[in-house]
Amino acid sequence: MAHKPIVLDAPIPEPRALDAEALQAEILEKLTYSVGKDPIVARPHDWLKATILAVRDRIIDQWMESSRQTWRTSNKRVYYLSLEFLIGRLMRDAMSNLGLMESVRDALTSFDVDLGDLINLEPDAALGNGGLGRLAACFLESMSSIDIPAYGYGIRYAHGLFRQEMSEGWQVELPEDWLAHGNPWEFERRESTYEVGFGGHVEPVQEPDGSTRLEWRPSEHVLAVAFDTPIVGWRGKRVNTLRLWSAQPVDPILLDKFNSGDHIGALAESSKAEAITRVLYPADSTAAGQELRLRQEFFFSSASLQDIVRRHMQQYGDLGSLSDKVAIQLNDTHPAISIAELMRILIDIHGMKWADAWKLTKGTFGYTNHTLLPEALETWPVALLERMLPRQMQIIYAINAEVLQEAREGAGFTDEQIANVSLIDEHGSRRVRMGQLAFVGSHSINGVSALHTELMKQTVFADLNSLYPERINNKTNGVTQRRWLMQCNPGLTKLISDRIGPEFLDDFSALAKLDKHADDPEFQKQFAAAKRVNKERLAQVIRDRVGVVVSPDAMFDVHIKRIHEYKRQLLNIIETVAQYSAMRSHPERKWAPRVKIFAGKAAPSYWNAKLIIKMITDVAKVINNDPAVRGLLKVVFLPNYNVSLAETIIPAADLSEQISTAGMEASGTGNMKFMANGALTIGTLDGANVEMLEQVGSDNMVIFGLTAEEVADKRARSEVPLNAIESSPMLKEALEAIATGVFSPDDPDRYRDLIGGLYDHDWFMVARDFDAFAAAQRKVDALWNDPQKWYAMAIRNTAHVSWFSSDRTIRQYAEEIWGVPVTGA
């Protein structure tokens, strides 16, 4: 569209003013001709859509040029396969990376529309659960920012995980409806539609030369339809693509059934297909749930591989160069079936010999392991795979035979070692180990923190590491500073820029210059003032959402994560109960005022996690209404934790709780986000906490508790936790209060079994780490009561966070795993 001409004898406007003027016209055009609304009657959601469409238009040209450039240069492409992409709201991210934030704000102001209100109105894309999905989103943004040609592949969930609401303190799961009014960021690509098969049988087919090949004849097909979202890098230099697959039926309605009166049955195939992409992580406690999960994983893996192979053949004409031009990264075990599916495509469809196909497959795939927890290292019943994916199961058997022969004849493995490396778990009902499949089918297997990587070598993959000793490597996770500092904390970003200059915006390592200002009293006051603005905003959110009034002058002590026993929200709330008791017994002590802020979702079938949420809300009800604590302690559980809520909580946090059982958190990324925003960490030597300690120093973190080795030793010796409880009067009193119904008078036995588990086995070391945790919290109190010391530590945390940028992580992947040149900032 034509921009308003500049009058030559008038003062030439600043670039921002020019851009605001152009955007004003563009937003108005979108509102009128795309949304179909007169600005006089337009509602906020109309302005939101119009603004997104106007910003999106600024992205399209560079998106297309990024794709053209990759085709022209024949550069290697990276494909990131992940069942989750927790991308959050995209408008602010895109505006910030394009440098349009203030211009859009000015343009909307001319219409008497507030940009902040529109940003808050945009729905969160419900495409993930927690750290796994958020990491994938950070990685995609970093790949765009450092100019790596990349696609993200995932599922376009209609409802995502779930929307968490609270009913009398209990978690209630409701469907997330982020797509109810469409998604203005996405483009449907009808030409990129693929058939994905399930079931059926495998038939030998005679070739003209007399040889025999195997052909899979599925009994069921669904269509995978692509929807593309542009992912903008910093300064808009490159725009990559997030391609999400939506499952649709081949025949949307069976007309013969409909016309015969079976109106519901006529839609059965449609419902069955659409169920694949309806919900993230359907409960797998039933056979039907397990089958649906496997369908999801194969559906998006097969569609993605068909798309990758089609694109490669279109550009290069043959598959011999696949591993030279394509790098596929598996984000955890969910897409591990891709190993067998790519082998099927190469051998059955493109006629490749087994040895050549296996070499290409291993050269193409990399596998990122995110957990040592058995339930997350997926396994599937052999019978289910044989029924649902018969050809892929044949290939898995053949891969296994090759691996076991290599282990026996080449490495001289014992029977026990053979059983450990086998892709088939023969203990009890036979199951396929997807972690093992991903390992043997990839040239690189990486952990996500130094500790996690070493534990991989020693535990779950010990024998595979012995068989293939060069494959395991470490790539410590990172987060994108654009979203998790610059966008969510503009006040702190401006303060840093004013003090050390804007160089850190493009070269994040320049943030280290902030260290020399950590002891400056004036800068500490400015840093505290920026923090207080964020705390006031969060205090208002807490009041609006849960009706609890909290003081921004108190320490905001934050524990926001997926609810799981190993993440030890239980330890935190038990210590809160002990602190509450001590505050009532000793009101004369100088207690640091605290607001304990919890948020996170529990898996629908994880009863203990849901019970922990209920315990937090029960404890909150008692403490928040007890005048004896004089408002010095408040407890808050904020429902429906998502990316947008995290972007409000993290900049306001004073203390970051990273207290997982040592050896069980692969890395964590929340810890890095809190660090960037000037929160102190109280934590165990687990995951990336270890590397944070190396970067910022022991004087600037509060570390406590058992090490991973000590945890393993206590578990191996089946040590009874009773001694730890009996020797700690404070712990014993808190456990008795909880177990006897002090905080649940309506159901005194509600927590008896949960607390009983601490006496019986204490698998997650809650009781045995309690005294160390309580002592660490008292150290935190002392630090809070010394503001000069506190803010010096807080500033140093921010100053030393640059190593935890996902840009650094992606550079390491590119150079050490993918073999992709890095040319970006």
Q: State the catalytic residues.
A: 370, 561-562, 567, 669, 673
752-760 and 607-624 helices cross at what angle (nearest 10)?
110
Contact 329, 368 (CB under 8 A): yes
CA dihedral 462, 465, 469, 471 (to 10 degrees): -140
Query: Which has the closest alpha carbon to 18: 30, 31, 6, 35?
Result: 6
Task: Output the six-digit token pair for 35.
Answer: 């949304």
β partners of residue 222: 196, 249
Spatial contact of 807 and 146, defined as CB atoms under 8 Å apart:
yes
Number of H helices, E strands in the chain: 33, 22
Determine the 3-state secondary structure of 656 from DSSP: strand
**Please, what is the Cα angle at 588 between 587 and 591, to 5 degrees?**
70
Contact 467, 653 (CB under 8 A): no
Phi, psi of 321 (to 5 degrees): -100, 10
- How far is Cα of residue 390 from the mean position of the Cα atoms in its chain? 32
Look up residue 731 and give its two tokens. 């712990």
What are 435's two structure tokens? 């972690």
3-class DSSP state for residue 563? coil
DSSP letter (8 states) at residue 805:
B
Burial class of residue 410 (count of CB atoms within 10 Å of its CB; 0-12, 13-18, 19+) = exposed
CA–CA dist 274, 614 (Å, integer): 34
Residue among 450, 372, 446 nearest 692 (CA):
450
Which residues 6+ apart lie within 8 Å of 713 measured at CB? none
Alpha carbon separation from 383 to 150, 376, 389 (Å, rounded): 36, 20, 10
Single-letter residue type at 708: A
Tell me whether strands 170-174 and 163-167 are parallel, antiparallel or unpaired.
Answer: antiparallel
Give the Cα separation of 455 and 630 in Å (integer). Answer: 46
Structure-derived torsion over alpha carbons of residues 123, 126, 131, 137, reported in degrees to the nearest 10: -70
Are 249 and 274 in contact by the 8 Å Cβ rule? The answer is: yes
> Two tokens at 224?
């995978």
DSSP code string of 303-351: HHHHHHHHHHHHHHSSSTTHHHHEEEEEESSTTTTHHHHHHHIIIIIT-
Residue 113, both tokens: 């529309």
In the three-class reduction of DSSP (H, G, I as helix; E, B as strand; rest coil), residue 396 is classed as helix
User: 272 Cβ partners below 8 Å, 6+ apart?
Assistant: 249
Q: What is the rounded CA–CA span in Å between residue 618 and residue 610?
A: 12
What is the sign, positive or negative, of the torsion defined by CA atoms of 610, 611, 617, 623?
negative
Rounded CA-CA distance 804/671 in Å is 10
Q: Which residues pair with 188 in a beta bridge?
A: 227
Extended strands (E) in 63-130: 77-81
The pair of structure tokens assigned to 659 is 């207290």
Q: Which residues contact 456 (CB under 8 A, 6 or more apart)?
A: 369, 372, 445, 447, 465, 472
Run of H or E residues at 381: strand 379-381
Q: Which amino acid is at 810?
A: I
- Give dist(CA 332, CA 133) in Å, integer: 11
